Structure 1
């Protein structure tokens, strides 16, 4: 596991010039497998940050940073959202929302945390930074929000192979079986944030 530092894009923008951060990100992060992921970080992440539509966090290579080199290992972006549950049967609502939600059967939508983007640089492998660590760091950020406003539902969209190869083992389930017109599955998970802890040594201050 590589030593990394998790930094918020907001903090970087408060400390450095925007064009400087933008150039460093563009020159140090690539993801040919998911060009939409690369495009978001290169072209939209700062805009989302400035408009408070989402919050992006970067995993920086600690060793290279100490040498004066800015290298993004991976990143994730979180936001608040709600999802349409009006299409679900009462039985399905109980499964998705749980049994303790007031007025559950009559609800048409439900608030959730959104993981809008999460991915790793092509120059790094899962041996250096694995998906479970990235996801856990994401949950730890959401935990801080949950302490203030509540909430335990997390949703994201991914392709079928990512669900089978990774997200299913992390406790995510399909919201509905049918993918979106873009071929993406909507997944949900209920996270007990008060019970969440990261393994010692995975995160750096």
Structure 2
């Protein structure tokens, strides 16, 4: 495999919007229909509107290009309830965030992974940890420009998904109900996780 990472806007600059859109339409992720719909129908518009920046991981073959994976990033302030955290974790978070003592919450500037997934045809060829490494590399570039030390995401309440993200260094801090927002298109419970991203 010869994997390359392109921002959606960068890909449009190279091949034009029509060809970029046609390539995005080939992305299929049967494990998560929300990300498939996002890649095919929203990624270009969200990038144009500045809502989220999307990155395509492409396997550049001799005569074609195939999407191996996809992730989308956005700026976010994560609201973390401090009451259920240990004192050492509270101390660490408060070094990088702002506390509101009335509510007992910490507001933490973060980069949100809004979408994250591998293409079906690369499910056995590329590890999820490899895709996460690429996403974290992009996050470090963003943090160099705007600051922040944390990465934030929300996922479905699935033991397999949670185990994967925890293995990638994420810790759970809350849950929320979602209804047709940036992350998912259906009403569901989302588990909220964060991870410290060490600067290079």
TM-score, normalised relative to structure 1: 0.81
Q: Identify if the C-alpha distance between structure 1 residues 71 and 101 changes in structure 2 by more than 3 Å, giving closer, same or farther.
A: closer
Q: Distance in 1 between matches of 2:153 and 2:56?
A: 18
- Deviation of the 1:35 alpha carbon: 0.3
- Deviation of the 1:102 alpha carbon: 7.0
Higher relative contact order (CA 8 A, sep 6+): 1
Unaligned runs of 5+ in 2: 179-187
Task: Work out which of the residue numbers 45, 62, 66 in structure 2 matches 1:71.
Answer: 66
Aligned to 1:170: 168
Q: Identify if the C-alpha distance between structure 1 residues 30 and 102 changes in structure 2 by more than 3 Å, giving closer, same or farther.
A: closer
Aligned to 2:155: 158
1:37-66 per-residue CA deviation (whole Å, 9 max, x = no partner) reads 100000000001111111111111122xx3
Aligned to 2:121: 123
Aligned to 1:142: 139
Give the root-mean-square deviation of aligned CA atoms.
2.3
* SS of equivalent to 2:141: helix
Q: Identify if the C-alpha distance between structure 1 residues 91 and 52 changes in structure 2 by more than 3 Å, giving closer, same or farther.
A: same
Q: Which runs of 4+ in 1 moved over 2 A?
A: 87-94, 99-110, 159-165, 178-181
Alignment of 1:75-94 (within 5 A): 75-85=70-80, 87-89=81-83
| Conserved? CA contact 1:139–1:193, under 8 Å | no
TM-score, normalised relative to structure 2: 0.83
Q: Distance in 2 between matches of 1:174 and 1:79?
A: 19
Does 2:41 correspond to 1:46?
no
